[in-house]
Amino acid sequence: MKRIGMLTSGGDCQALNAAMRGVVKGLSNNVDGLEVYGFFDGYKGLIYGKYRLLTSMDFSGILTKGGTILGTSRQPFKLMREPDENGLNKVEAMKQTYYKLNLDCLVILGGNGTQKTANLLREEGLNVIHLPKTIDNDIYGTDITFGFQSAIDIAADVIDCIHTTASSHSRVFIVEVMGHKVGWLTLYAGIAAGADIILLPEIPYDIDKVVEAIQKRSRDGKGFTILAVAEGAISKKDAKLNKKEYRKKVEKSPYPSVSYEVADQIKKKTGIETRVTVPGHTQRGGSPCPYDRVLCSRLGAEAAQAIIDGDFGNMIGMKSNKVTRVPLEKVAGKLKVVEPDSQIIKEAKFMGISFGN
């Protein structure tokens, strides 16, 4: 008999259910006896003992279903060792729930913060397996995270749709793409949908260079320009500020986000009408794309095999299209960013895409 717990933590994405299904199908087809306990609302469920014994029916028909059947919440890693408002030791509470259910392993699906807490539980002696989930694709040690490709499809579709209205009205359009502190999603969606300018957190922009790119398109007879701007994009001027100074600047800013600031600056410097579109959380919603369904099935199957092997304390990732087990202590707390001199950036520049630098 194998007893495993499962939880989904942090922001949701399209393929969480598909990944859980992959784990359960891999185990149920290869072990004698299986109990799966689902913890509700992420680490909250583990802390406060909110869980349910799941059945095979819970995992039936969820391959194509977005979101998470277990619910999720954000529990900041930096607060995990601090007592809650009632003085409860959260780490000890999680351990007690784990041992109370006599679990063989806890399967944790989530992004960077989730991964750091998973590693904390490993250090506390629990058997854990982490599956890398995030549309940001910023988890170190894996080439790709599930949810990333599905989000690319949605963001690229938004930019595709902007093309016709931008060309009809001869405007500059900015599409603000999610991605937190990194630019992977903006980069891939921007290239896929033919954005003319792509602004990333890793490559601070010069607004005058952005304007130059727009004016060059005008001189070349192009009546419109489309910018894909990462939500974490930053100007060269702001990049020189320390964290405290930048935070204060953002707090006092009259703009809802960086995209509106860029739009205002473009309008003032060129006189061209500039509009902003923010697809927001739609990028995390809907059904997972076929690529993510395959990816999650593969990651889930390998997670199941690792549990059977008793090989715990790993993230299940992808390297060179091969599923691999990566020790959590080697990757937890590290961020995978877009390297400004990477091959894909050079190729994009070669095709004429401006990065505003």
Taking alpha carbons only, the member of 132, 152, 151 closest to residue 143 is 132
Taking alpha carbons only, the member of 137, 195, 172, 189 closest to residue 318 is 137
| Phi, psi (rounded to 5 degrees) for 10 | 85, -160
DSSP string, 278-330: --GGGGG-SPPPHHHHHHHHHHHHHHHHHHHHT--SEEEEEETTEEEEEEHHH
168, containing H or E segment: helix 148-169
Judge contact between 292 and 149, C-beta under 8 A. yes
Q: Which of 41, 104, 136, 138 is catalytic?
A: 136
Token representation of residue 23: 């784990």
Looking at residue 50, what DSSP letter applies? Answer: -
| Bridge partners, residue 205, by sequence | 235
Catalytic annotation present for 136: yes
What is the distance between the alpha carbons of residues 127 and 122, in angstroms, rounded to a whole number?
6
- Which residues have a catalytic role annotated? 136
